[in-house]
Structures are given as C-alpha cells and as structure tokens.
A and B are shown apart, each in its own frame.
Chain A
Amino acid sequence: MSKWNAIVVGALASLALATGPAMAQDPGVTDTSVKIGIFAPLSGPAMAYGFDVVNAAKMYYDKVNADGGINGRKIEYTVEDTRCNANDLVAAVKKLVEQDNVFLLNGGSCSAATMAAKDYVVRNKIPMLMLNASGDGALYPPTDYIYGAFSISQHAAGGSVIQFAAEQLKAKKIAYVNHDDAYGSWNLEAAKFMAEKTGTELAVESINPTITDVTAPMLKLKAANPDALVLLTYARPAALIIKKARELGFDKPIVLTVTGTANLGQLVDNVGGPDALKNFYTQEVLADVPGGPKLQWVYDMYKKAYPELAAKPDHPQAYMPYGVASAMTVVEALKAAGKDLTREKVVEVLKTLKVDTKVMAGPIEFGPTDRAGQESTIYMKFDGKTTTRIPGVYTNLWQYKG
C-alpha cells in the first residue's frame, strides 16, 4: 500500500469509527434524554378515555425524572390528540415518529383507531406500548413491536368473567351479552374457551352499542333460564339491560364487566335506583376499588401533580390509574434495556418483561406469544350504595394459538 493509500484508508477508518456509534443510534435518544411520544383522545366525545390517562402517564414520567431519570437520561415527552379516530391517530403517530423523532410510542386509548397504526409501527420497527386500549386486534397475531392491554385485554375480560360466574356464582348456564363490534368478537372468543373449560353453557346475545330497546334480547335470554347474566357492554346498554331485567322479574346474579363500570353512581340513577342492583356484581381490573387504600398513592400523586384538576368534580376520571401502569412498564423496559439504549434492545426486554405495578389487579406480563399485559380481574358486590370486595383474583386462561 502506498503512503497516500494508507493515509486515505486510515482517514476513512477513523471517520467510520468516529461516526459509527452516532449513525447506529436510534432517533429520540441522547446521552441525557429519551423522547417518548404519547397519543390519546384529548378532545371530542371519547375524551374521557384518554385525558386523565395521559395525565397519569405524564405525572409518572415527571416523578421518574424528579428521582433522577433512567440510566442517567431524563424522559422527554410529546403529546398528540387522536380524537379516537383512525386517520387522526395515524397522523399523530406519523408526526411523533417522523417530525418529533420520538424513541418509542406510548399511546392508544381506542382499540379500533389504535389498530390503524399497527402496520406502520411494525414496518418502521418502533416499540409501541398502548395506554389503556385493550387493542386485541393489534396484539394478535403478536408482533415484536406492539404491546398493550395495560387495562385488560378484551379476551381476558370475557374469559375471566365466565370463570367468575362458574366458580364463584356456581352458574351452569350463563346468559352472555356483548356488542356486535371488535370488542364483542374478541371477548366472546375467550368466553367460549372458558365456558368449555368450566363446563358451562353460554346463551349469547350480541347487541349494537347504540341499541335503545333491549326488550327482545332480554326476553330471549330470560327464556333460556340462565343461572347468571354477564354483561360485556358499554355503560348505556348495560343500564338498559339491568333496568329491563328488573322489569321482567329476573332475579339471578348480574355481572357487569369493566367496559361498563366507568361511573357506578350514574348507573344507579340510570337503572332507577338501588332496587335493580340487589344481586349485582362488577368486574374491576385495578388492584382495589377506585379510591381504595391500595391505590391511594396513585390518587395522592394525581392531587399533587394536578391540584386544580383534582378539585374539579369527576376528577380524576375513572380510567386515570391505567396510565400509571402503562408508563411504569415503559420505564421498566427502558431501565432493563440498559445505558446503551436501542429500540431493538427495548423490544427484546419487553418480550419477557414482568412488572408488578401495584396499580392493576395482576402483574403486567408479556411472553413469547403474549402481548397483552394485564389479564387479571377482581370482583365486587355492589348494591347501589356500598361496594364489597369478593375474595380472589380471576386471571385469563385463554392463549393465542395462531
């Protein structure tokens, strides 16, 4: 090699060494910061699904920063509104990734809209941890990049309520009301699996979420003579059904899953008072009843972070704690990925991550083919005034088989 060739090769080698690590570094990471893109509905009719969940995630990230950050890095976050709409959600995600250059995504409160980001996120290999969307359609079949169901997966909601009705309420025949939408198809799949496992029979009625008269489905279900009625509906149809059940003299246990329990006080009013709730149970995915002692630290944190909001009626909103569970998982994944942070390291960590958040009914746990974080439920007896915890935790047994 001539002297000049050696100089040129040496210079190129030095340049490669100097620029190598910088070129390999993923967007959104510096030695002192890591940038997270948060997205959720912050306006419009679905705002309640996202507003306080985002606030909870932000307050947890702020707390982590106040405690010194993660591996010497402070968390920076950018928040985008999705309006619970697929086009807006995709716009939000693309803005966060391509314009704000975030390292990972932490967002999604509406399952149908969140599914719209799946192909883009997977194609661009960006880790995405949902906020409170069940998101089953984006979780199954599993991918390396999308993790969700920090509240609960719909599969788990459907499977565990059947387990509860069979084991706790000793039901042999269960009337099952779900919606004729994505949620309904997901929860019914696991419910059927669990019914077979527990030797129970299901009488299924799938209703439209906008239904205004539930007489026909309720007459059908009453005629089936079930031992229990489980509702996997939103709050409004649930209230109509509970009211109709009372009118028809249906006195068997009624179990309402977490999809319809956002405001139990409102439910009492909507069903015409406590008389309709004499044999009534609710499903909960938090570690305790909202506002209960096990969760007091979350509510205290919220009060400290948002004193003006906390003083308002109906705040914090019911789903607020879910944001802490999701943000905590993001933080634990970033911690475990180490100082030399890359997106691929984060997803490798996530695939087997287990985090006991102390917020949810069970641990956040992922597996080789499992991308649904939270699959445990607890149950309460609610008589319209007081809530009594039923002992035990009911965990989903349905698994994705491909």
Chain B
Amino acid sequence: MSRPVAALLVLVCLAVLAAVPLFGSGYIVYIANLLLVFVVLCLGLHIVIGETGQFALAHAAFYGIGIYTAALVGNAYALPFPLPVLAGGLVAGVIGVVLGAAALRMRDIYLALATFAFGEAMQWVFLNWTVVTGGPNGLSISPATFFGIAIVNDKEAYPFVAALAVLMAAVTLVISRSRLGRSFRAVRDSEIAAMAMGVPVRRTKVTAFALSAVLAGVAGGMFATFSTFIHPDSLGFQTTILVLTMIVVGGLGSIFGAVSGAIFFGLVSELLRQAPQFQEIIYGLILMVFMMYAPRGLFAAAAAKLGGNRHG
C-alpha cells in the first residue's frame, strides 16, 4: 500500500476510534470493545500463521490464559490497569514458548493437530481447575481500576482497550518490518532456504509462537478490562476457528487484512444476529464468495490494488 494511502487510512481509523464513544450507545461501545479484542487476537494469529506459516490452532487457549490470568490478578490484588493485562500477556507468552519449543519438530497437519490438542487440553483445565478458574460455574471478573477509579462500564473501558489495540497493531507492524519479521517470512516461504541464509529457524519459530501467545494473552487482558464474566464455553475450538476465518477473509499474510478481517467479520457476525433464520446461510455464502473470488482475502486484494506489499 502506498504511503499516502496508508497514512490516510490510519488517520481515518484513528478518527473513527475516537468518535465511537462520542456517538455510540453503551451497546455500540461494547461491540467496539469486542471488535478491538478480536483485532488483537487476529494480529497474534497473523504472526504465527500469516507471517511464519506455522499452522497453530491453540489461539483460544492463549486467549483464555490471558483472560483468566488478568481476571485472577485483578480480583486478588486489584492492581491498576494495565498490570493485569501485562500479566495475561506474559503468562500466555511463557506457555507459548513452551508449546513452541515442543512443536519445533512438527509441521503442517501434525502441528495443527498438536496445537488443537493443546487447545482442547487447556479448555479442560479451565473447566476442571475449579478452585482457580471457577470451573463450570465460570469466573466473575472484578472491574479493572485506573489510579484507584473502577472502570465499570464499556464507555469507561473503551479508551484503554482502544489504546492497547492501537499499541499492539503498531508493535506488530514494527515487528513485521524488522529483521525478525523478515525471518518469519523467510521461514514461511522455505525453511531450508532460510537456514541456508543463516536464519535461526528454530528460534524464529519459537519467537513467533511466543509473540502470537503474548498478543492473544493481551487480548484476553483487554477482554477482562470491560467484561464481568468468563466461562470455559467461550474458549473452545470455535473461537480459534472464528479468528482463523477472520485472518483468512481479511487476507492471510497481511496486517491490514488481519485488522480489516476482524472488524468486517465481527460486524457481519453482529449484524447477522438480526436475521436468525438466515444467518447460517448468509455466513456460509459470504465465506464461499470470499474463497471463490478473493482467495487471498478481499482486503489484501484491495490493498494490492492500491499498490501495496504482502505484509502491510
């Protein structure tokens, strides 16, 4: 994407972000908060799948780890925002390193199955570690605090959630354009060629897993900032598939695609609630149309038309 167009798009996005709480009801702001959480989730999955080509399917698990960690830290110590969010990101990141190291020898479908199994195992942990997670009764999340002031509704939480989403998008963009980002893409395109060029493949893969998990954990922390309750039912494989669908529809390998896919699909999903009888059909049709006419993602195609590259 050319610089002036990209700058204009960023400005428009920031203006829209700033305008949401001014003109939207609490419901609209809640949806905006949720969309921003999915934006960060998509950025995380974009790093590991879109940039590095590692087909990992444990994103909902890291998201859950982030939510539970942030919620437990917030509930127990009433730490000010953003410390619980940071804790969520760090704990998810550490577990991401462990999973990444364990999955080093795996590729393609085997990696997908192994990470899927990890996701299922984590959901079982959320459901059965009752003393910590509340198990099947779910966990109530105390309001986040900022300088001693409780954040008790969506409008109050929105500036923090929006700031974090912008920060995470900026971090992802910086990483993508750095040497590390180039290493990610080298591993994605050919591990052997990357190794021949001196790219430390194993370390690059583990780093991608860790960064992806950190972003998912931060997304979980963001969710805990405005939500009051979490239940393991919300952290199953369907959540991973939803995020995967978002980055595929947006455009695999493109940050702009990941962000746009999250917002587009999130909005479509919410709008389709108004047509319960037809929503599955419409949902399926949208996916089919995307796969037939924009297999690389509609937004990535649009970005390319505007004169872009694959990682902007």
Would you call A81 and B152 a contact (CB within 8 A)?
A: no
Known contacts A43-B276, A43-B277, A91-B31, A185 near B229 by CB under 8 Å = no
Q: Tell me the bound Cα distance from A86 to B25 in angstroms.
A: 20
Contact assessment for B138 and A112 in the assembled complex, using a CB-CB cutoff below 8 Å: yes
Let me know if B26 and A80 touch, CB within 8 A.
Answer: no
Least Cβ distance of B66 to chain A in Å? Answer: 15
Please tell me if B108 contacts chain A, counting CB pairs below 8 Å: no
In the complex, the number of residue pairs spanning A and B with C-beta atoms less than 8 Å apart equals 87
- CB-CB < 8 A to A85: which residues of B? 233-234
Tell me the chain A residues, 376-394 only, with Cβ under 8 Å from chain B: none
- Name the one of A91, A99, A183 contacting B273, with C-beta atoms under 8 angstroms: A91
What is the chain B residue whose CB lies nearest that of A179? B136
Beta-carbon contact of A180 and B136 below 8 Å: yes
Least CB distance from B246 to A in Å reads: 14
Q: A44, A99, A112: which contacts B25 (Cβ < 8 A)?
A: A99
Closest Cβ neighbor of A136 among chain B residues:
B137
Whether B276 contacts A81 by the Cβ 8 Å rule is: yes
Is the CB of A137 closer than 8 A to any CB of chain B?
Answer: yes
Which residue in B127, B231, B276 is a CB contact (below 8 Å) of A86? Answer: B231
- CB of B80 closer than 8 Å to a CB of A: no
Q: Judge whether A91 and B30 touch: CB under 8 Å.
A: yes
A99 touching B280, Cβ below 8 Å: no
Interface digits, B62-98 against A, CB 8 Å rule (1 contact, 0 not)? 0000000000000000000000000000000000000
- Per-residue contact bits, chain B 211-251, to A (CB 8 Å; 1 contact, 0 not): 00000000000000001111101100000000000000000
Rounded to whole angstroms, the CA-CA distance of A182 and B234 in the bound complex is 14
Q: Which range holds the interface residue count of chain A?
A: 20 to 34
Residues of B within 8 A of A115 (CB): 137-138, 229, 231
Specify which chain A residues have a CB less than 8 angstroms from the CB of B308 in the assembled complex.
Answer: none
**B274 — nearest CB in chain A belongs to which residue?**
A81
A90 within 8 A of B: yes
The CA-CA distance from A116 to B138 in the complex, in Å, is: 9
Task: Assess whether A87 is interfacial by the CB under 8 Å rule.
Answer: yes
Known contacts A119-B228, A181-B127, A185-B137; is-contact A81 B234 (Cβ 8 Å): no
Range for the number of chain B residues in contact with chain A: 20 to 34
Query: How far apart are A12's CB and chain B's nearest CB, in angstroms?
Result: 31
Residues of B with C-beta under 8 A to A43: 276-277, 279-280
Q: Please measure, in the bound complex, the distance between the C-alpha atom of A4 and the C-alpha atom of B176, giving whole angstroms.
A: 71
Interface flag for A324 (CB, 8 Å)? no
Is the C-beta of A113 less than 8 angstroms from some C-beta in chain B? yes
Within 8 A of B (CB), among A177-222: 180-185
With both chains docked as a complex, state the minimum distance between the C-beta of A99 and any C-beta of chain B, in angstroms: 5
- Among A87-137, those with CB < 8 Å from B are 87-88, 90-92, 94-95, 97-99, 112-113, 115-116, 118-120, 123, 137
- Interface residue A58 (Cβ < 8 Å from any Cβ of B): no
Find A112's partner among B140, B233, B279 (CB 8 Å cutoff). B233
Verify if A29 is at the interface (C-beta below 8 Å from B). Answer: no
For B135, B138, B140, B274, which residue has the most chain A Cβ atoms within 10 angstroms? Answer: B138
On whether the beta carbons of B26 and A119 are closer than 8 Å, the reply is no
Contact B135 A86, beta carbon cutoff 8 Å: no
Contact A119 B140 (CB under 8 A): yes
Q: CA–CA, A91 to B24, complex, Å?
A: 14
Q: Let me know if A239 is at the binding interface, CB within 8 A.
A: no
Distance from A326 Cβ to chain B, minimum over Cβ atoms (Å)? 19
Q: Within 8 Å of chain A (Cβ to Cβ): is B2?
A: no
Asked if residues A137 and B277 are in contact (CB atoms below 8 Å), the reply is no
**Contacting residues, chain A, for B154 (C-beta < 8 A):** 94
- Whether A113 touches B152, Cβ cut-off 8 Å, given contacts A90-B30, A91-B27, A185-B135, is no
Give the complex CA separation of A321 and B20 in angstroms.
42
Q: Which residues of A contact B137 (CB under 8 A)?
A: 115, 137, 182, 185
For B273, give the chain A residue with the smallest CB separation.
Answer: A81
B178 within 8 A of A: no
Q: Are A180 and B228 in contact (CB under 8 A)?
A: no
Q: Which residue of A lies closest to B228 (CB)?
A: A119
A35 located at the interface, meaning its Cβ lies under 8 Å from any Cβ of chain B in the complex: no
- Chain A residues near B229: list those with CB within 8 A: 86, 115-116, 118-119
Find out whether the CB atom of A98 lies under 8 angstroms from the CB atom of B25: yes
**Residue B34 lies at the interface, judged by CB distance under 8 Å to chain A:** yes
Question: Are A98 and B27 in contact, CB atoms less than 8 angstroms apart?
Answer: yes
Give B128's nearest chain A residue, CB to CB.
Answer: A180
CB-CB under 8 A for A91 and B127, given A86-B234, A98-B25, A182-B138: no
Judged by a CB distance under 8 angstroms, whether A83 is at the interface is: yes
| B148-175 near A? 1/0 per residue, CB < 8 Å | 0000101000000000000000000000
A137 to B139, CA, bound (A): 10
**With A91-B270, A112-B231 as given contacts, are A137 and B138 in contact (CB-CB < 8 Å)?**
yes
- Interface 1/0s, chain B 103-143, versus A by CB < 8 A? 00000000000000000000000011010000111101000
Contact yes or no, B127 A180, CB < 8 A: yes
- List the B side residues contacting A183 at CB < 8 Å: 136
The verdict on A44 contacting B27 (CB below 8 Å), with A86-B234, A112-B231, A180-B136 known, is no
Contact A182 B276, beta carbon cutoff 8 Å = no
Identity of the chain A residue whose Cβ is nearest the Cβ of B30 in the assembled complex = A94
CB distance from A39 to the nearest CB of B (A): 10
A44, A116, A184: the one contacting B231 at CB < 8 Å is: A116
Contacts of B138 in A (CB 8 A): 112, 115-116, 137, 182
**8 pairs from A and B in contact (CB 8 Å cutoff):** A80-B273, A83-B273, A85-B233, A86-B233, A98-B25, A99-B27, A116-B138, A118-B140
Taking Cβ atoms with an 8 Å cutoff, the residues of A that contact B are 42-44, 47, 80-81, 83, 85-88, 90-92, 94-95, 97-99, 112-113, 115-116, 118-120, 123, 137, 180-185
Closest 5 CB pairs of A and B: A119-B228, A42-B276, A182-B136, A94-B27, A43-B276
**B contacts, CB < 8 Å to A:** 25-28, 30-31, 34, 127-128, 130, 135-138, 140, 152, 154, 227-231, 233-234, 270, 273-274, 276-277, 279-280
With A81-B273, A112-B138, A180-B127 known, 10 other A-B pairs at CB within 8 A are A43-B276, A47-B276, A92-B273, A98-B27, A99-B27, A113-B231, A116-B231, A137-B137, A183-B136, A185-B137
